[in-house]
Structure formats: C-alpha cells, structure tokens
Structure 1
Amino acid sequence: MHTKQTLLRDLENMRIDPRGTLFVHSSYKAIGPVEGGPDTVLDALTEYMQDGLLALPAHTWSYINGSNPRFNVQDSATCVGILTELFRKRPGVLRSLHPTHSVCALGRDAADFIAGNELCDTPCGRQSSYGKLLDREATILFIGVDLCKNTFIHGVEEWNDIPNRLTDRIMPYVIELPDGSEISAPSRKHCGELWSYYFWKVNDLFIREGIMYTGHFGYADTRVTNAATTNELLSRMLKADPELFSTNEPLARVGD
C-alpha cells in the first residue's frame, strides 16, 4: 500500500525540482493501491511542490465542440483522468480559460501561468500555458502514461507551423465565468487525435539523447522530460521532416 510518504520519496528519487514548475500527465490506476486514494496522490504532489508550481491539464476537448461550444470554467469537468478532475476542485487551484485545453495550477506564480489562454486561437498557442512551460523550462512528468499523452508536443508542432494539424474552421466557443459573465473565445481545433498516437516513436530517442529518464511513482512507470530540451530537439527534427508524426513508422536508427 502506497502512502503519502512513499510517494514523496518517489518524487525525490526521480530528482523532481521542488522549486521549479512541474506539469503532470497521469493515470491514477497505474499507481496501484494508495492509502487515502487519489487525494493522497494530490497531497503528495502538492506538498512536494509547495515552493514551486504544480500544474495539471484540465482539458475538455472530448465534449466541448462546435455543437456544444459553451465552456464553464467552474463546472465543466476534465476529460483526462480522475486526478485532474479532483485537482481542479481543490482550494486555491486556478484554472485557465481556454475552452478545450485549459490547465489548472497551484503555487508560485499560478495566476501568471494561467493568464491569457482565452486569447489564444489554437489549443496550445505560444502565449498559452503550454508556451509558458517552455519559458519556465518546466519538468513534465508522465505517471503511468506514455508520450502519446504529451500535449506539449502538440504545442511544438503548432509553433513550427506543421501543416494539417489545425482545422481551418474556427469554432465559436463561449467561456462562462463564475460571476455569470461570458467571453467569446473563437478558436481552431486539432485535426483529430490521430497524430498524438505517433508521439511514441521518439521515446527511445529522448532517452538516448538524455532529455528523458524513467522512474517509478508507486507502481506506475514514469517518464520525466524537460520542456526546453524537448522543444529544442523536436523543433530541429520537425524542420528537417515536417511529417515526423504523420505516420506510425518508427524512426530510423543511425547506422541501420
């Protein structure tokens, strides 16, 4: 049975910077039995990052769309796991205003981190929280999930103008604020979720290049990456091959 203390030790063993910015993708089930359940997991992450910034995705892309364009900041549930849904409801946690790719943050500079997402007309614009992960050289932690869940790579593709990643159609999203007021937030969408299925192909390369390492959080296999080095490597690769993530073919190894 995992406890808050054992999970704190796992974070320390993974060399997570407690004063930095940590963005977490997660599968609660992969962690195994935890004393106190998912709240204990969030307690451990929050305590470990108490002198830094903890952020999780709060996406709603699975159901906020052209036929259901109204995003309620306070009530719209996340579609990316139980930890994200419980985290967004915690006292002190702030949620950004992007209608499909909002994030939640707690800790140092949280308000700045989430600010302005409603002004972005794409899911992961350079001025969004995903761009701020790059600016902060944030750590991205994958608990029990692989790189196919790495939303940051969508951002890298956007910033490098990779074709066929965004719809031409602009969706007429509306953001409903807690005070009852509304904001118009027209935005394009990702062209399906197919491309992210191919993000796996850089897993081994990331490890060989030293920009990702692995560990454990509870029973979950984990991956730890850095936003800045991820962007640097992938931007070079995408400039050389804009179709890098357009197929499921594995990368060719040098010398093969």
Structure 2
Amino acid sequence: MYTKQDLKNMIKEMGIDSTDTVFIHSSMKSIGEVLGGANTVLDSFMEYLVNGLLIIPTHTWKSMSESHNEYDPSKEPSCVGILTNLFMKKEGVIRSLHPTHSVAAYGNDSIEYVKGEEDVATPCAVGGCYDRLRERNAKILLLGVNHIRNTFIHCVEEILQVPNRFTEKPVLFKIVMPDGSLKESHVYRHYNKTTAHISEAYTKLEQAFYDNNVAKQVKFGDAVCILCDANGIFEVTKKVLSHQINCLMELDEIPKEWWL
C-alpha cells in the first residue's frame, strides 16, 4: 500500500524538480494499491510541484461529435481516465476550452498556459497547449502507458505538417465560455484513411527516444513509466521524419540509422 510520501519520493527519484512543468498521461490501475486512492496520486504531484506546473489531458474527442457538439468544460467528462476526471474538478485547476483535446493545469501560470484554445482549428495546434510544452522545457510522464498515449507527438506532426492527419472538413462545435455565452469553433478531427488510430504508429519511435537519451524508464508505484523531455522528443521525431515525412504510416519499421 503506497502512501503519499512514498509517491513523492518516487517523483523525486525520477529526476523531476519542484519547479518543473510536467505533463502526465496515466493509467491509475497500473500504479497498484494507494492509501487514499486516485486523489492521493494527484495530491502527490500537486504538492510536489509546489513551484511548477502540472498538466493533465482532459480529452473529449470520444464524446464530442456533430450531433453532440456543445462543449461545456465544467460538465463534459474526460474520456482518458479516472485521474483526468478527478483532477479537472480539484480546487485551483483550470481547464482549457478546446472542444476535443482540452487539458487541465494547476500551478505556476496555469491560467496563462491554457488560454486561447477556443480559437484553434486542430487538435494540437501550433502555438497551443501542447506546443507550449517545448517553451517550458516540460517533462512528459507516460505513467503506466506507452507512446500510443503520447499526444505531444500529434503536436510534433502538426508543427512539421505531416500529411493525411485530419478530416477533410472541420466539425462545428459550440464552446460554453466563462460568461455562459456560446462560441462557435470549427475544428478538424484526427483522421487517416489507413488506420483508425494514428497514435498506434508512435511506438515505432520508442527506441529512437531511448537511444538519444530523451526518454528513460522510471517507476511510480507498481507502474512502469516513461519520462520524456518534450524538446528532445520534438528534435528526434523531426530528425526521423526528415528522411520520409510520413514514414510512421508508410513503413513497418524505422531504419535505425535515421536517428543515430
């Protein structure tokens, strides 16, 4: 049975500082038994990053659609796990206004960090919340999950303008703004004609990240995790894709010499 202090010690052992910006994709069940459950897990990160910024995805891409197109950030549940749904309801946490790929943030500059997402036209827009991870030299923690859940790589692909990543036309969403008004937002969805899940290809980059020391395996509770450097992930992915821009979809295996 892990205590909050046990978890805080593990965060320190990962090499995370209290001033860091940390983005977490998570699987609660992978952690094992925790005294106080999911709330203790969240509290351990929120308290440890006392002078930093904690960011957790609160995606709604699974529920939002042409027929269910009104996004209310105070009510719409996240489709990416129990920790995400609990986190966005905690005191002091701010949720962004992106209708399909929102994030929630707590800590240093959280309000500034999430602003403007109601004005973007893609899931992980250039200059948006995912791109800002580079500006803050953020760490990305894949807690009990792998790079299939690493949404930042979607952002890298957007920055590098990888083709065949979006629907032909955007979907009209209506975002409930803080004052209660509705703002129309036209946002493209992730789409590729050869696969229903683009991110399944991202595991092809795992060894490239390890070999270039931009990712390492760490532990949190029982969970095997991957701690990544956002800027490093960007540079290695850019290097690989410079050889063939759509290689993650077009090749079954990436040649090792492309990243060494």
Common topology (TM > 0.5): yes
Distance in 2, Cα, partners of 1:148 & 1:13: 25
Aligned to 1:223: 226
Cα offset for 1:180? Answer: 2.2
Of 193, 197, 210, which aligns to 1:194? 197
Aligned to 1:176: 176
Cα offset for 1:244? Answer: 2.2
Cα offset for 1:201? Answer: 1.1
Aligned to 1:204: 207
Aligned to 1:59: 59
Q: Mind listing any 5+ residue stretches in structure 2 that lack a counterpart? A: none
Aligned to 2:237: 234
Distance in 1, Cα, partners of 2:248 & 2:79: 24
- Contact kept in structure 2, 1:70 and 1:173, CA below 8 Å: yes
Distance in 2, Cα, partners of 1:27 & 1:205: 24
3-state SS of paired residue (1:213): strand
Cα offset for 1:63? Answer: 1.0
Distance in 1, Cα, partners of 2:233 & 2:67: 35
3-state SS of paired residue (1:175): strand
Runs of 4 or more off by more than 2 Å in structure 1? Answer: 177-180, 250-255
Distance in 2, Cα, partners of 1:175 & 1:2: 40
Distance in 1, Cα, partners of 2:257 & 2:95: 43
Aligned to 1:246: 249
RMSD over aligned Cα, in angstroms?
Answer: 1.4
- Contact kept in structure 2, 1:198 and 1:248, CA below 8 Å: no
1:75-90 matches, cutoff 5 A:
75-90=75-90
Superposed CA offset, 1:71-124 (max 9, x none): 111000000000000000001100000000000000000011101111110010
1:62-211 matches, cutoff 5 A:
62-191=62-191, 193-211=196-214
> Percent of aligned positions with the same letter in both sequences?
38
TM-score of the aligned structures, taking structure 2 as reference length: 0.95
Cα offset for 1:11? Answer: 0.4
Distance in 1, Cα, partners of 2:58 & 2:253: 30
